[in-house]
Amino acid sequence: MIEKLEINRSKTAVIIMDYQIRILDSLPKERLPELLKRANILLAKARQKGVPVIYVEVIRGERTPETEIHPDIKPKAGETVLTKRRVGPFSTTNLDEILKKQGIDTLVLMGVSTSGCVLSTVRWAYDIDYQLIVLSDCCADRDDEVHRVLMEKVFTRMTKVITSQEFIETLGGI
């Protein structure tokens, strides 16, 4: 049984990382529709409840059609989109500064891949004292076993790991 999770919406942001065409195409095709569906439902509820959504994309060279954020999960007008050059978003963007200016102390993480951007972000954010929630079913990795081990054994030492539906219920239902 999960303990009762309380969210202060004014101090929380959803961080969606690397939901880009090329990266999503590296996942098994049968997983993609459900991942995008869950992510869209979660983002819609966060927006409805006033929780800011921040997109992080990775561009290591030139911007190409394959590096674009997937068309099914595009940012809304006015949402922050940060471009990083490394695996995690903190070292090559001003994410920490943006969060601090908004008074954000809790991050809700979703990203592809679990063993890449999500792991890097959890480690860095934990080390600089953010409260963390990882949405297990809005993260994905090419290796299901690595995803499972990170979610069940590694992240639980530093963060709450819940499903997108549990987070939506915490925000106030469907």
pLDDT one digit per residue (tens) for the chain, 174 residues = 445 788 999 999 999 999 999 999 999 999 999 999 999 999 999 999 999 999 999 998 899 999 999 999 999 999 999 999 999 999 999 999 999 999 999 999 999 999 999 999 999 999 999 999 999 999 999 999 999 999 999 999 999 999 999 999 998 854
Q: Any idea what the CATH number is for the domain that residue 45 is in? A: 3.40.50.850
Q: Does some domain include residue 3? A: no
Q: Does some domain include residue 1? A: no
Query: Into how many domains does the chain fold?
Result: 1
pTM above 0.85, yes or no: yes
Q: Does some domain include residue 40? A: yes
C-alpha–C-alpha distance, residues 95 and 77, integer Å: 18
* Residue range 124-165, pLDDT digits in tens: 999 999 999 999 999 999 999 999 999 999 999 999 999 999
Q: How far is CA 59 from CA 23, 69, 89, 144, 156, in A?
A: 11, 11, 11, 25, 29
C-alpha–C-alpha distance, residues 164 and 108, integer Å: 10
- Show the tokens assigned to 121: 């972000």
C-alpha–C-alpha distance, residues 124 and 138, integer Å: 20
Q: Range of 93's domain?
A: 9-169
